[in-house]
Amino acid sequence: MNADEQILAAARELAARGECTPRTARDPVNEPMINNWTEALGDNSSAYPAVAPPAMIQVWTMGGLHPQRSDDDPLGRMMEVLDAAGYTSVVATNSDQTYHRLVKPGERLAVTSRLADVVGPKRTALGEGWFVTTHNIWRSGDEVVGEMLWSVLKFKPKPAVTASVPPLVSRDTAFFWDGTKTGELRIQKCSACGALRHPPGPMCPRCNALDPTYVVASGLGEVYSYVVHHHPQVPGKRTPFVIALVELEEGVRMLGELHDIDPEQVKIGLPVRVRYVPSGEFVLPAWEVR
C-alpha cells in the first residue's frame, strides 16, 4: 500500500472500533463555573445558573492544563498516523453541536468519541492535508445530553519563505532608517519642547508641535521586557529567538531581536548595546549583551 492507502486503512480500523472509553468530568456541573461563563459573555438570562448554558457542554469534560487521552481515543490515534506520514500541523475547521437537553448543577457528565470521517488528501491554502471528523457524545448517566461533530485539518506545512518583509518607510520614519545605514540610532526629538519619542510620528504627543528633529542615541540600554518566539516559524529565522524591548539610556524604549544568547539566560535589566544587521536594502537595529 502507498502512504494514502495506509492512512485510509488506519482510518477504517479506528472507525470500526466505535466509541472510545468514556472520559468522566473532573467536576460536576456547578453554579460558580456557570456564573463565570455567563459573566464573561454578558449573558444575563434569568435561566442561569439553575441550568447551564448549552454551549458550555464541552467545558465540563475538558482535561485541564495537562489533559490525558485514553489509549483508544480515536482523534489522538489518527493524529499519530498522520504525524508519521508528515502531516504535522493542525487547525480546527468546524464544530457542529447538538443539544438534547439542558444540564443542571450536580450532574457529572462523561464524553465518548468515535471516528466519523477521514477525507483526503486535499490541497488547501495551508498545504496538502486530511480532514478528520470525530463524533463526540456527552452523557449524564446513560442519557445522551449533547453531541458534537468536530473537524480538524491535519496538513503538511508549506516550506518556509526565505524572503523578508521590508520595513514601511514614510516621511516620519525615513530619518531613522537613513541613520541605521550609517550606524546611528536616531531618536525623534520635538524641536519645540525637546521631548523624545519612539516610534516616531508626525506630531509631538506633549505639545502638538509638527516640526520634529532627532538626536543620536548612545545605543546602550537594558532589557525592559522580552518574549521568546517558538512558533510559528518566521521566514529567515531559526526558532527559538528572543525579541527584546530595550529601554535606552535616553529614556525611550525600542524593540529588536536579541542575538547570541541562550533564551534561558535573558532577564529583565540585562545590559545590552545596539547591533546593526543588514537585511536587503535596509539595516535593522538589534541587540547584543554588553
Output the CATH code of domain 174-289. Answer: 2.40.50.840
pTM: 0.58
The pLDDT value recorded for residue 92 is 87
Produce one character per residue of 260-284: b if its CB has 16 or more CB atoms within 10 Å, e if not: ebeeeebeeebebebbbeeeeeebb
Superfamily of domain 3-155: Hotdog Thioesterase (3.10.129.10)
The pLDDT value recorded for residue 119 is 96
Neighbours of 45 (CB within 10 A): 9
- Digits of tens for pLDDT over the chain (290 positions)? 799 999 999 999 999 999 999 999 999 999 999 999 999 999 999 999 999 999 999 999 998 888 888 889 999 999 999 999 999 999 988 999 999 999 999 999 999 999 999 999 999 888 899 999 999 999 999 999 999 999 999 999 876 555 566 788 999 999 999 999 999 999 999 999 999 999 999 999 999 999 999 999 999 999 999 999 998 877 778 899 999 999 999 999 999 999 999 999 999 999 999 999 998 889 999 999 99
The pLDDT value recorded for residue 63 is 87
Residues in the chain: 290
Domain residue spans of the chain: 3-155, 174-289
DSSP 50-91: TS--GGGTTGGG---SS----TT-HHHHHHHHHHHTT--EEE
The pLDDT value recorded for residue 138 is 98
The pLDDT value recorded for residue 65 is 83
Neighbours of 225 (CB within 10 A): 12
C-alpha cell belonging to residue 182: 550609517
